[in-house]
């Protein structure tokens, strides 16, 4: 089948998509956007988190056909110029080790700060509860989100 | 020539929280992990695996699979051109099953096709006729009962390592316990993946996520019937490892398919397949008897540790060595009789995972120390202090600890840290959280302690080395350094560290890390917390050699004696800057390659376990504070405090991340992580059913990091990644025991162990 949707601001038409493919597969294998990750492909880890029409979703749980006519924003499209404050904060706080969880966490944290500019720790934990990280124990990820929030509100 | 007198230490050298060179790519999604690799016209591989833990294969019919449009190859063991068996320690594992399977998930055939789904469907069309046999799943019988059927013809015991010290096995106070550790999974997030590309010379180039490129090459090449130089490996982006990438997974399969089809072949495991596709942490059955004086001083320890290695040997022999040599923990024990066994069964194969044999034992001996404290009416910290080793003590193998071992002060320090406030009134902080299962009723707080000892680097006489090639030249009028090693960056931050070391040793800010591949000598494995030590040591040594040549060149070019390198400048004896590095180099290029070895270790005596088997010891202490809902059996860890001695802090932020992450994996083992195996079958191969800690499960972690240098190690450093994984588990379980009064002999602790229902 053919799927047409907007990815990171530009319209994409993808042909020969098998009906069983997920949005994650299409992004990674057909659109040249492997930034969204494939840690489980079962909706359990959040590594594939992208914005779909402005809401964060697990791209592995969205059938490719469901993206028809809709707008997707991935980690690759978070910032047009340089790094987004959330990306910068993940670097500065040491929240990146292997980095496989990072794109999903960054999109999820980005969404949190869009909604709640100055979240409490409990709100950060709740917002990121669906994103697994095996390397960091999450302490530096909390630091990163706090840092990003502080920098965004200081701007 | 410049004539400025100021030389400042280089930025982002050793000791700084230097940024990761791969960091920006990782936050923008551009970093290429193994599963992201892509080539025009590449095929996708899939693996047919056995549904049975033990069966004879009566026939394999590939017809249906071969007929499926889009399928380009279907291969079985008959298509393996070289050696049919491989293994990281000894070759006992078939590349593809030959006439029988020994565990659920054992690969039988591999397929290459134009789409991953086509490849999977082709697997489903392969007809295998099995004669299903009763699986051998009892590790105790495998260890001790010679009449038990055999998984491999040579017998079920992979290794038995006794420790025998002294002869007094009587004491005033005796405590015993039988403990069990479930099967933990490394659960890295980046699935097993790689891309094999056939080369014009008949060889193959493999881009793969692994922990040790050269040991992969050593195993792959014979199976392909190729000389090693025709099997070239390059490290692709690695999404975590934790031991699970020490053994091969898809490497040989992808190379076979690529050579067979003449096309690039990528294999990417899914999460479910990943649970079958790598080895796990050995589950353990342990019996301990500790004898002590009335005032809590250990007289003897008797112990038995049975580690279930599953169907193939993997690294079981070395895991047994650790469990035995560190089996009584960081305590002075005058009399020891301990036996550690690693066995074959038809359970899933087990091998390396962070902590490697020392984790299981630590849960046993630390639980015993708490029992001893109770029997003697002592505080748990006090009983540990009374028995802790210190510099100059002997461990169970008779080896003298010839480096700082400040356990007493570490224990005091962790005990004296302020405790968190009482039980929270915020629902979200309580066990059960937003599930709203309690408003505070039935909640009891507990505090517990744990301490562990881990050997750093490879032990028992292994020739453990790393290689670094360092090149210094002028690029764009500035001095630039290129560091090339084969060491695997798996997330731990070794790439950062290598650059920091080069900056410090050469004073040149501009350092590039070349991709890791087999075009340079082996770096050994990214395991055993060894890379900072060994590859760090190799980079340091190679930089020193480059520096020496630079100064020779400077002496020659400047006709000047007694020059030194300081702050990135060539300085005279009196400290006057006489030239920049770039000025001295001009068009000259300096390149040096060096191997670095830590001090040699010795094998353990086969009958007594005595010998200087380890090169370095590392220690971490944890204090855990938990709230337990004693009615529902739910646990919330409120705080984890750790004191760890790392010898020398090379990168504070990366180091803290290692301690946090190790602590989290220990929490997982204590409370939630277990591959549940019944009759040899894995019952929970998904992240829905195999739980790893989420951000809601992890408490705030307080760290105190000590720097007592090990005089034998580069910069005095101590390996740091593993020790926190040892000690957090027993600390948490001790805290839950303190809250509930339950004995909790098995980890992970389940709600029903707490409620008794
Ligand atoms: S890959 Fe989508 S949730 Fe794990
Ligand atoms: S950094 Fe490795 S999984 Fe999060």
| Domain architecture of chain A: domains with CATH | 3-77 (3.10.20.30), 85-154 (1.10.150.120)
List the single residue in A with minimal CA-CA distance to B496: A97
Rounded mean pLDDT of B659-669? 98
Q: Given 3-state DSSP classes, what are the helix, strand and coil percentages for chain B, each rounded to the nearest 5?
A: 30, 30, 45
Contact A29 B28 (CB under 8 A): no
- Cα(B113)–Cα(B602) distance, integer angstroms: 49
Q: Give chain B positions within 8 Å (CB) of A128.
A: 695
- Cα(B483)–Cα(B358) distance, integer angstroms: 33
Rounded mean pLDDT of B48-62? 98
Cβ–ligand 2 distance for A100 under 6 Å, the answer yes
Residue B472: count other Cβ atoms within 10 Å of its Cβ.
Answer: 27
Contact yes or no for B327/B338 (Cβ under 8 A): yes
Residue B1 confidence (pLDDT): 38
Contact B38 A136 (CB under 8 A): no
Contact yes or no for B173/B372 (Cβ under 8 A): yes
Cβ–ligand 1 distance for A47 under 6 Å, the answer yes
Task: Tell how far the Cα of B651 is from the centroid of ligand 1, in angstroms.
Answer: 32
Contact B686 A44 (CB under 8 A): yes
Residue B434 confidence (pLDDT): 83
Q: Give chain A positions within 8 Å (CB) of B121.
A: none
- Contacts of B377 by beta carbon, 8 Å cutoff, 6+ apart: none
pLDDT above 90: residue B731 = yes
- Cα(B94)–Cα(B84) distance, integer angstroms: 6
- Cα(B195)–Cα(B45) distance, integer angstroms: 10
Closest partner residue to B687 (CB to CB) among A35, A45, A76 is A45
Q: Which atom of ligand 2 is found nearest the CA of B189?
A: 3
The CA distances from residue A119 to A113, A125, A127, B300, in Å, are 7, 10, 10, 54
Residue B567 confidence (pLDDT): 83
CA distance between the termini of chain A: 46
Residue A42 confidence (pLDDT): 95
Task: Tell how far the Cα of A104 is from the centroid of ligand 1, in angstroms.
Answer: 9
Residue B565 confidence (pLDDT): 93
- The ligand that comes nearest to the alpha carbon of residue A43 is 1
b/e burial code for range B728-747 (CB count within 10 A of at least 16 → b): bbbbbbbbbbbbbebebbbb
Closest partner residue to A97 (CB to CB) among B24, B31, B491 is B491
Residue B269: count other Cβ atoms within 10 Å of its Cβ.
Answer: 21
Residue of B12, B28, B691 to mutate for A, most A C-beta atoms under 10 A: B28
Task: Report residue A23 as tokens.
Answer: 């949005």
Rounded mean pLDDT of B649-673? 98
Contact B239 A100 (CB under 8 A): yes
Four-residue CA torsion sign, B325, B330, B331, B332: positive
Task: Report residue B637 as tokens.
Answer: 């860890």
- Contacts of B65 by beta carbon, 8 Å cutoff, 6+ apart: B71, B74, B109, B111, B122, B123, B125, B126
- Cα(B673)–Cα(B364) distance, integer angstroms: 18
Task: Report residue B734 as tokens.
Answer: 């001790």
- Report how far Cα B484 is from the mean position of its chain's Cα atoms: 23
Task: Report residue B681 as tokens.
Answer: 């079958």
Q: B306 phi and psi, to 5 degrees?
A: -115, 120
- Cα(B436)–Cα(B443) distance, integer angstroms: 13
Rounded mean pLDDT of B567-591? 94
Task: Tell how far the Cα of A45 is from the centroid of ligand 2, in angstroms.
Answer: 11
pLDDT above 70: residue B6 = no
Contact A76 B29 (CB under 8 A): yes
Chain segment B676-696, per-residue pLDDT in tens: 999 999 999 999 999 999 999
Task: Report residue B745 as tokens.
Answer: 């002999």
Cβ–ligand 1 distance for A40 under 6 Å, the answer yes
> Is some CB atom of chain B closer than 8 A to the CB atom of A142?
yes
Closest partner residue to A83 (CB to CB) among B22, B27, B663 is B27
Closest partner residue to A39 (CB to CB) among B190, B237, B242 is B190
Instruction: Write the residue with the smallest CA distance to atom 2 of ligand 2.
Output: A98
Residue B8 confidence (pLDDT): 58
Q: Which residues of chain A have pLDDT under 50?
A: none
Contact yes or no for B380/B370 (Cβ under 8 A): yes
Burial class (CB in 10 A: 0-12, 13-18, 19+), B560: middle
Residue of A91, A133, A135, A148 to mutate for B, most B C-beta atoms under 10 A: A135
Q: B211 phi and psi, to 5 degrees?
A: -105, -20
The CA distances from residue B529 to B446, B493, B720, B738, in Å, are 31, 12, 6, 32
Residue B747: CA count within 13 A, CB half-sphere: 31
Contact A35 B30 (CB under 8 A): yes
> Is some CB atom of chain B closer than 8 A to the CB atom of A128?
yes
3-state SS of chain A? Answer: CCEEEEECCEEEEECCCCCCCEHHHHHHHHCCCCCCCCCCCCCCCCCCEEEECCEEEEHHHCEHHHHCCCEEECHHHCCCCCCCHHHHHHHHCCCCCCCCCHHHHHHHHHHHHHHCCCCCHHHHHHHCCCCCCCCCCCHHHHHHHHHHHHHHHHC
Q: Which atom of ligand 1 is found nearest the CA of A44?
A: 3
DSSP assignments along B148-174, one per residue: S--SSTT-SEEEEEEEEE-S----SEE
- Cα(B331)–Cα(B315) distance, integer angstroms: 26
Q: Give chain B positions within 8 Å (CB) of A87.
A: 27-28
CA-atom Rg of chain A in angstroms: 15
Cβ–ligand 2 distance for B240 under 6 Å, the answer yes
Task: Tell how far the Cα of A28 is from the centroid of ligand 1, in angstroms.
Answer: 13
Q: B450 phi and psi, to 5 degrees?
A: -150, 150
Residue A16: count other Cβ atoms within 10 Å of its Cβ.
Answer: 10
Residue B306 confidence (pLDDT): 98
Q: Å from A129 to nearest chain B CA?
A: 6
Cβ–ligand 2 distance for A40 under 6 Å, the answer no
Residue B4 confidence (pLDDT): 41
Residue B10 confidence (pLDDT): 86
Contact A41 B189 (CB under 8 A): no
- Cα(B749)–Cα(B181) distance, integer angstroms: 10
Chain segment B272-329, per-residue pLDDT in tens: 999 999 999 999 999 999 999 999 999 999 999 999 999 999 999 999 999 999 999 9
Rounded mean pLDDT of B333-358? 98
Contact B695 A91 (CB under 8 A): no
pLDDT band at B208 (very low <50, low <70, confident <90, very high): very high
Residue B755: count other Cβ atoms within 10 Å of its Cβ.
Answer: 15
Closest partner residue to A137 (CB to CB) among B36, B237, B660 is B660
Rounded mean pLDDT of B327-349? 98
Residue among B284, B307, B337, B319 at smallest CA distance from B162: B337
Strand A71-73 to A3-7 pairing? parallel
Q: Å from B54 to nearest chain A CA?
A: 28
Contact yes or no for B654/B756 (Cβ under 8 A): no
Q: Is A19 left (phi over 0), alpha (psi -120 to 50) or beta?
A: alpha
Cα torsion through B683, B688, B690, B696, rounded to 10: -160
> Is some CB atom of chain B closer than 8 A to the CB atom of A35?
yes
Q: Å from A69 to nearest chain B CA?
A: 24
Residue B433 confidence (pLDDT): 86
The CA distances from residue A91 to A95, B10, B17, B357, in Å, are 6, 21, 11, 34
Domains and CATH numbers, chain B: 23-31+465-597 (3.30.365.10), 34-134+191-238+245-277 (3.90.1170.50), 280-459+603-755 (3.30.365.10)
Contact A139 B660 (CB under 8 A): yes
Q: B645 phi and psi, to 5 degrees?
A: -100, 115
Contact yes or no for A96/A135 (Cβ under 8 A): no
- Report how far Cα B123 is from the mean position of its chain's Cα atoms: 32
Cβ–ligand 2 distance for A2 under 6 Å, the answer no
Task: Report residue B687 as tokens.
Answer: 């992240």
Residue B546 confidence (pLDDT): 98
Is B370 strand, coil or helix?
Answer: helix
| pTM of the entire predicted model | 0.97
- Cα(B707)–Cα(B752) distance, integer angstroms: 42
Q: Give chain A positions within 8 Å (CB) of B701.
A: 137, 139
Q: Give chain B positions within 8 Å (CB) of A139.
A: 656-657, 660, 698, 700-701
pLDDT band at B435 (very low <50, low <70, confident <90, very high): confident
pLDDT above 70: residue B2 = no
Q: Å from B672 to nearest chain A CA?
A: 14
Residue among B9, B10, B12, B15 at smallest CA distance from B649: B15
- Tell me B228's DSSP state: G
Q: Determine which helix (DSSP H) or strand (DSSP E) holds B267, and give its type and residue range.
A: strand B265-268
pLDDT above 80: residue B9 = no
Chain segment B66-115, per-residue pLDDT in tens: 999 999 999 999 999 999 999 998 999 999 999 999 999 999 999 999 99
Task: Tell how far the Cα of B271 is from the centroid of ligand 1, in angstroms.
Answer: 10
Contact yes or no for B309/B142 (Cβ under 8 A): no
Task: Tell how far the Cα of B661 is from the centroid of ligand 2, in angstroms.
Answer: 9
- Contacts of B337 by beta carbon, 8 Å cutoff, 6+ apart: B162, B163, B164, B165, B169, B300, B301, B302, B303
Residue A72: CA count within 13 A, CB half-sphere: 32
Residue B561 confidence (pLDDT): 87
């Amino acid at each position: 089948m053919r799927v047409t949707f907007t990815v990171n601001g530009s319209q994409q038409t993808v042909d020969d998509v098998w009906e069983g493919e997920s949005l994650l597969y299409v992004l990674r294998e057909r659109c040249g956007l492997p930034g969204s990750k494939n840690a489980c492909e079962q909706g359990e880890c959040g590594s594939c988190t992208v914005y779909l029409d402005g809401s964060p979703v697990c791209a592995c749980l969205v059938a490719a056909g469901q993206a028809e006519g809709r707008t997707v924003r991935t980690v690759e499209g978070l910032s047009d110029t340089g790094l987004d404050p959330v990306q910068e904060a993940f670097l500065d706080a040491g929240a990146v080790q292997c980095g496989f969880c990072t794109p999903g966490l960054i999109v999820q944290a980005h969404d949190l700060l869009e909604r709640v500019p100055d979240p409490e720790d409990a709100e950060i934990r709740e917002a990121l509860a669906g994103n697994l990280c095996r390397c960091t124990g999450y302490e530096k990820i909390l630091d990163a989100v706090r840092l990003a929030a502080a920098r965004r509100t200081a701007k | 020539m410049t004539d400025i007198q100021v030389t400042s230490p280089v930025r982002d050298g050793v000791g700084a929280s230097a940024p990761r060179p791969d960091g920006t790519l990782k936050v923008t999604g551009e970093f290429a992990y193994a599963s992201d690799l892509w080539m025009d016209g590449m095929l996708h591989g899939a693996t047919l695996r056995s549904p049975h833990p033990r069966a004879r294969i009566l026939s394999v019919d590939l017809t249906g699979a071969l007929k499926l449009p889009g399928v380009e190859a279907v291969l079985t063991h008959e298509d393996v051109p070289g050696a049919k068996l491989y293994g990281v320690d000894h070759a006992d594992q078939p590349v593809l099953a030959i006439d029988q399977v020994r565990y659920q998930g054992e690969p039988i055939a591999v397929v290459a096709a134009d789409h991953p789904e086509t490849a999977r469907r082709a697997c489903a069309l392969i007809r295998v006729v099995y004669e299903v046999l009763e699986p051998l799943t009892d590790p105790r019988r495998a260890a001790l009962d010679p009449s038990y059927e055999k998984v491999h013809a040579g017998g079920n015991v992979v290794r038995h390592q006794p420790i025998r010290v002294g002869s007094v096995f009587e004491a005033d106070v005796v405590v015993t316990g039988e403990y069990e550790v479930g099967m933990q999974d490394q659960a890295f997030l980046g699935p097993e993946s790689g891309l094999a590309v056939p080369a014009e010379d008949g060889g193959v180039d493999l881009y793969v996520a692994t922990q040790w490129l050269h040991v992969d090459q050593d195993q792959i090449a014979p199976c392909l019937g190729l000389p090693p130089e025709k099997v070239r490996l390059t490290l692709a982006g690695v999404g975590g490892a934790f031991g699970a990438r020490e053994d091969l997974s898809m490497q040989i399969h992808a190379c076979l398919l690529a050579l067979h089809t003449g096309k690039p072949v990528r294999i990417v495991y899914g999460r479910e397949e990943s649970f079958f596709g790598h080895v796990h942490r050995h589950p353990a059955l342990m019996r301990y008897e500790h004898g002590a004086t009335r005032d809590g001083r250990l007289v003897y320890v008797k112990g038995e540790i049975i580690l279930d290695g599953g169907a193939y040997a993997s690294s079981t022999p070395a895991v047994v060595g650790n469990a035995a040599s560190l089996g009584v923990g960081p305590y002075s024990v005058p009399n020891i009789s301990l036996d550690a066994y690693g066995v074959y069964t038809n359970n899933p194969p087990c091998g390396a995972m962070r902590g490697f044999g020392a984790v299981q034992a630590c849960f046993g001996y630390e639980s015993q120390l708490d029992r001893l404290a109770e029997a003697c009416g002592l505080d748990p910290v006090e009983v540990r202090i009374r028995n802790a080793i210190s510099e100059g003590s002997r461990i169970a193998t008779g080896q003298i600890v010839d480096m700082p071992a400040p356990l007493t002060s570490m224990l005091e320090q962790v005990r004296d840290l302020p405790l968190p406030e009482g039980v929270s009134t915020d629902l979200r902080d309580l066990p059960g959280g937003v599930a709203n299962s309690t408003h505070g009723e039935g909640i009891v707080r507990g505090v517990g302690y744990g301490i562990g000892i881990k050997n750093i680097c490879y032990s028992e006489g292994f020739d453990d080395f790393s290689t670094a090639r360092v090149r210094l030249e002028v690029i764009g009028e500035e001095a630039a350094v290129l560091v090339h090693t084969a060491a695997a960056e798996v997330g731990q931050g070794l790439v950062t560290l290598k650059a920091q070391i080069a900056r410090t040793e050469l004073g040149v800010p501009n350092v590039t890390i070349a991709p890791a591949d087999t075009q340079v000598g082996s770096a050994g494995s990214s395991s055993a917390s060894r890379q900072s030590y060994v590859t760090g040591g190799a980079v340091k040594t190679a930089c020193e050699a480059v520096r020496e040549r630079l100064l020779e060149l400077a002496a020659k070019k400047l006709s000047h004696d007694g020059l030194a390198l300081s702050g990135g400048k060539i300085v005279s004896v009196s400290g006057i800057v006489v030239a920049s590095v770039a000025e001295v180099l001009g068009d000259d290029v300096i390149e040096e390659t060096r191997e670095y070895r830590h001090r040699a270790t010795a094998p353990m005596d086969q009958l007594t376990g005595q010998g200087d088997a380890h090169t370095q010891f590392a220690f971490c202490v944890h204090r855990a504070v938990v709230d337990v809902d004693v009615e529902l059996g739910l646990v919330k860890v409120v705080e984890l405090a750790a004191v760890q001695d790392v010898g020398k802090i090379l990168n504070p932020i990366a180091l803290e991340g290692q301690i946090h992450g190790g602590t989290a994996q220990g929490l997982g083992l204590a409370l939630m992580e277990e591959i549940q195996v019944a009759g040899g079958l894995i019952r929970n191969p998904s992240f829905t059913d195999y739980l790893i800690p989420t951000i809601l499960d992890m408490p705030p972690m307080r760290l105190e990091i000590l720097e007592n240098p090990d005089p034998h190690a580069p910069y005095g450093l101590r390996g740091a990644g593993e020790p926190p994984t040892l000690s957090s588990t027993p600390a948490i379980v001790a805290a839950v025991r303190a809250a509930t009064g339950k004995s909790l002999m098995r980890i992970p602790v389940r709600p029903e162990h707490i409620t008794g229902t």
